[in-house]
Every structure is written in structure tokens, then in C-alpha cells.
Structure 1
């Protein structure tokens, strides 16, 4: 293909961001908005704990997939949504993106921030990141990209810069948490299956019940409250044994868990206010406390990688607090579910 290829402009690409989210949630949110969906209502519906030992990768967009290879389907398990990781051909990588755009699909492209002039890490730090490509102009030598992560950018990028970033080996140098894995021309081909069903109290209650069931699950994955306890025990043991690699992994892994808890909590709190249900709003606040409890765990892991044994006590304290925050939030959700079923939480 030659010339200009751009997604139809009748649907605007908007930025959406929250303090706890990564590029995974922010890029997907832009796709949801473009389809007329509420990103909070979609991204905040599911809440779980899932840790897959040996699977954690140093990428900002890492997520422990319940559906093998389907990142978006794992992130939105209650929606008709899915995704496939694809690799662009070496001969002409842009063809894959042009084909997606011609089919009215916005590709989410993996990149190395080191090669992107609009990122603060430009020519300084290598790190794996995601952006949306929504237009390609071979004549001008530019692509149009969207990145909601601060400082946020929406506009042209030289094709040469995209290709450098998109095919980077992403070497591990100064940055320990999101570098060391090749980018290799990867891009995420997303199918949203919209429109989504309305988020009624009944539908939210069904999702909350399914979330609770997953936390009670005793399946093969390291998941639910049992998996959370195992994760904490392993992390503290690794610190006491001086295992830097395992301690270090808690930082990128914890970001996804933290982001999901923050969005689920915000959704419950928002709907609690909208539906005049203070019990639901309180449950949301409790889930948001889980997100905040992830912060010291991740920070201790980040600092602790240099001298894990010195941080073992802090990690033991913080992971125990994280488990308590989960237990308190789940108890609050059980109470809130009863109000959704019988309407007792509504005022007036």
C-alpha cells in the first residue's frame, strides 16, 4: 500500500487515564470510547488475583492471562472481546498496520520509549510501552499515534522513529522493570464485539458474584485469596534468600493487579453514588484501598531488588496488609451484593 491510510474519522480517538493504570488500560480505553462504550464500566467490571510464576515479563503492559494468548479477553472476561498478538513482517512492517486500519481496526503497537521523541524516556531509558496507531502517510513519512499516558500525545510521529521503536531489542540497561524483552514488531489486534450490554444493577451483581467465586477458587492457577497468600509467602521467602529476580518481578506484576483493583473500586463507588446505594459505594472504597495497598508492596520490591534480605521484613508486613485489604474488600462486596438483589441500598 502507498499514500495515506487512516482509520475513519467519524469516531474520535480520545484519551482516558487514571493514576493507577498503565498503557494497557489507557490504550484499550481509547478503543472503547471510539466504539461508544464507557471505559470504566468495561475495564472496571472484573476483579481478580492471578499470578502465573515464570510468566511475568518486564513490560508495562504485562497481564497474567486466564485465556492463553488473549490479553483483551482476559482483561474483559464479561464482554464479547478478544485480541491476538501479531508480528509485523520484516519486509514492510507498515503493511500489517495499513491492513488493520483499512478494516477499521485500530492497532495497538508495542514500542520502546527510548526511540519516541514525545516520551520523557526519549534517548534516555529503554522500556516496553503501548501506543495506538490511527493513521499512516507514507508520502509525508509519518504515522499518527495516540498515547494517553502522561505527558500524553496525539499526533504525528516519523515513520523512521516508529520503526526503530517497534523493532527495538529493548536492551536492559538503566531500567530494571520494563526492559530486557525484545519488541520484535509486535502489535495487538483487538476485537471488541460492541455494543456491550448495559451495566444495570443486576448485571453488576452478576459480575461481582463471579469475581467473588474466582477469589474463592481452588483451581490450578495461583489465583484468588489462596494464590494471593502463596504469592506473598513466595515473595518474602525470595527476599530472605536474596533472590533478586523474584523480588524484582513484583513491581511489573503488581501494576496490573493494582490497576484492576483501582478501576473496580472506582466503578463500584461511582455506581453507588449514581444509584444512591451507600453500601455499594463503601464496597468501592474498600476495593480502592486494595489498590493503595499494592503501592508499598511494589515500592518495597523496587528498592528491595538491590538488597532483598534487608527488605524482607517490610515485604512481610506489606503483603500481610495487602491480604487483609483484600479480605475486607471482599466482605464489603458481599454486603453490597445483597443490596443489589433486594434494592435495600437505594435511598429515596
Structure 2
């Protein structure tokens, strides 16, 4: 291995309504030469597994045995493997070997130790960044983080090591949502079978929408589909009325659904051209409205601990969200069945 190396064509990608999981995934997909929005925006659904809720900015619910990237892109040949090194030294050895081989790597990190994050030396939180270069002589690593304020440059290796090895503790009342979950020097190995990607045409678009509609009609472990979504939100409101602390849980759940919904809204606009079906672009804007419902839910979740929120206000927002979503799903069903 040489003492220095920077991988070419690692390009940042950003969407206003998604977090580090999707920005890093999109960058990796683009580096592999596959379309990021067509891949990450195709699937749309609701799944919440209460026993599998993790305090991570990159939390995303997946069925048992399904990897994180398979959950993000279940209709495409993409998968991932979490690696959990024994310690910081092994963690860097593994990541450096991957980068030296020409592969950019997504690593978990605590923003408290990353000098380019607004939370630096202030707030602990579980985040993802991309490592795609190093300079052993200078003791630096090249890091990309597309989440604002975007950073693409070198930091000291000891800073990255501290961020990756952090226990991510709760020390004060600003350590919310993504804390109390050790980082553990974890990194993601990502597999993309570029030769097996489906075409983006009318048949694929309509098949994708039908699969999503089937998912919203389905049931399963935890809360699944539109019925599960209604049941989960009703349960949250009831627990809040009984004075349960729902803030962090609802913030995490809503964040995952918000990103999924926002990307699918943009996917529908792309799909309208690919399928020569203008109605899909109109429905894309309707799905965008659903995403903004989830934005409101996320804000309301943060207010549940301040005394500024009531169970009735939550119920009204939840009802408006689910009713709007039911209408959009019915209209999508009409399009793919030729009734629109």
C-alpha cells in the first residue's frame, strides 16, 4: 500500500428532506455508475418494528435478514454488510485497506468529534460520512459529508478515530435522538451489481408502483402498510396522552418515513417521463405533500417534551396525513389500472 491515496469521482449528493444515510448511499451509487434517485426513490412504504428502533441518524427499519441497503433499495441489486471492528486500530486498518484498494467507504461517526460539524464539541450524535482518501505522512484522511454545512476535505486521523470510537453518550439535554448508542468503529461494505439493474421504462415503473401498493395493503410483524401506519400513529397519540415520553421514538420513525416519501415523490416525477404518463408527475407533487406532513410530525415530536403539544393536535395531524395518503394511493392505483 502507498502512503497516500485519494479515490476519483466521489461526488456529493444532497436532498433537502433526507439525512446522512441517503446522501452517503447516493454518492456510493453514483460512484458505481448507477442512477441514485431511480434506485433510492423507487420503493415507498411504511414499516415500524418497535423492538428494532435504534438511536442513529441513519436508522431505517428493515425486515429480519435484510441488510440496510437492501431495505433502502429493495427492487435493485444493492446490499450492504456492517463491519464491527474490535477497536479503533482495527477499524482504521480495515477502512484504510478498502480505500487503498480504490473503494470509498461509509463509516459511522460521532459529530461531537468532527471539526466540520456544527455539533463539534457540543452535541453527541450518530452520523455517517464517507472516507475516500488518506495521507499517512500528514496523518490526515479525506472525508465527504454532504449534509449541510457540506464538507469535502481533509481532517486529522486522530479526529476521525475519536469520532468512530466514541461511546456517543448522553451528557446533557442537548444530546437527543441519536445518542446513547456507541459508534463502535463500524463501517459499511456495499455491493452493487451494476449489470443486473432493471431498465427504467413504463413496464418497470408500473410494476414498481404495483409492488408499493401491495406493500401498503399488507400486514406483518410490527406496524406495516397503511393500516399499520394508522395503528402506530394512534398508539403514539394514546401513549402521549398517558404521559409517555414519545419524543425520540417518533422523531426517529418520522425521519425514516419522511426521507422515503420525499425521494419517492421525486421518483414519480422522473417516472412520468420514463413511462410517458404525465399523471405521475401530478401525483409526485401529491406525495411531496405527504412528505411535508411527516416534516410537521417530526417538528411536533420535538415539541412533545416542551409542553407545547397535545394528544389532540397530534391526532389531527396524523388523521390529515393518513387521509391524504389514502387518496394518493387510490389515485396511483387508478393510474396503473388505466382508470385515471
TM-score, structure 1 length as denominator? Answer: 0.91
3-state SS of paired residue (2:297): helix
Shift of 1:267: 1.1
Shift of 1:58: 1.9
Partner of 2:213: 212
Partner of 1:238: 239
> Are the aligned partners of 1:269 and 1:284 in contact in 2 as well (CA < 8 Å)?
yes
- Report the more deviating stretch, 283-292 or 90-99: 90-99
Shift of 1:250: 0.6
Q: Distance in 2 between matches of 1:325 and 1:113?
A: 36
Partner of 2:36: 39
Partner of 1:107: 105
* Aligned pairs (5 A) from 1:240-319: 240-244=241-245, 246-273=246-273, 276-307=276-307, 310-319=309-318
Partner of 1:117: 115
Alignment length, in residue pairs?
336
* Aligned pairs (5 A) from 1:1-348: 3-7=3-7, 9=8, 12-68=9-65, 70-90=67-87, 91-172=89-170, 173=172, 174-195=174-195, 196-244=197-245, 246-273=246-273, 276-307=276-307, 310-339=309-338
3-state SS of paired residue (1:93): helix
Residue deviations 1:30-52 (CA, integer Å, cap 9, x gap): 01111222211111100010011
Shift of 1:77: 0.3
3-state SS of paired residue (1:83): strand
> Are the aligned partners of 1:238 and 1:247 in contact in 2 as well (CA < 8 Å)?
no
Shift of 1:219: 2.3
Residues 274, 82 of structure 1: CA spacing in aligned structure 2 closer, same or farther, 3 A cutoff?
Answer: closer
Shift of 1:16: 1.0
Residue deviations 1:260-319 (CA, integer Å, cap 9, x gap): 1111011112332565532111221121111011122111111103449x5211111111
Q: Distance in 2 between matches of 1:320 and 1:66?
A: 26
> Are the aligned partners of 1:111 and 1:131 in contact in 2 as well (CA < 8 Å)?
yes
Shift of 1:6: 4.1
> Are the aligned partners of 2:43 and 2:74 in contact in 1 as well (CA < 8 Å)?
yes
The 4+ residue runs of structure 1 with deviation greater than 4 A are 273-276
Shift of 1:93: 2.4
> Are the aligned partners of 1:135 and 1:144 in contact in 2 as well (CA < 8 Å)?
yes
TM-score, structure 2 length as denominator? Answer: 0.93
Q: Distance in 1 between matches of 2:249 and 2:221?
A: 21
Q: Distance in 2 between matches of 1:215 and 1:158?
A: 46
Q: Distance in 1 between matches of 2:126 and 2:66?
A: 18
Residues 89, 69 of structure 1: CA spacing in aligned structure 2 closer, same or farther, 3 A cutoff?
Answer: farther
Shift of 1:243: 0.5
Residues 188, 211 of structure 1: CA spacing in aligned structure 2 closer, same or farther, 3 A cutoff?
Answer: same
3-state SS of paired residue (1:100): helix
Q: Distance in 2 between matches of 1:285 and 1:207?
A: 18
- Report the more deviating stretch, 254-263 or 214-223: 214-223
Residue deviations 1:19-67 (CA, integer Å, cap 9, x gap): 1111000000001111222211111100010011132222110000125
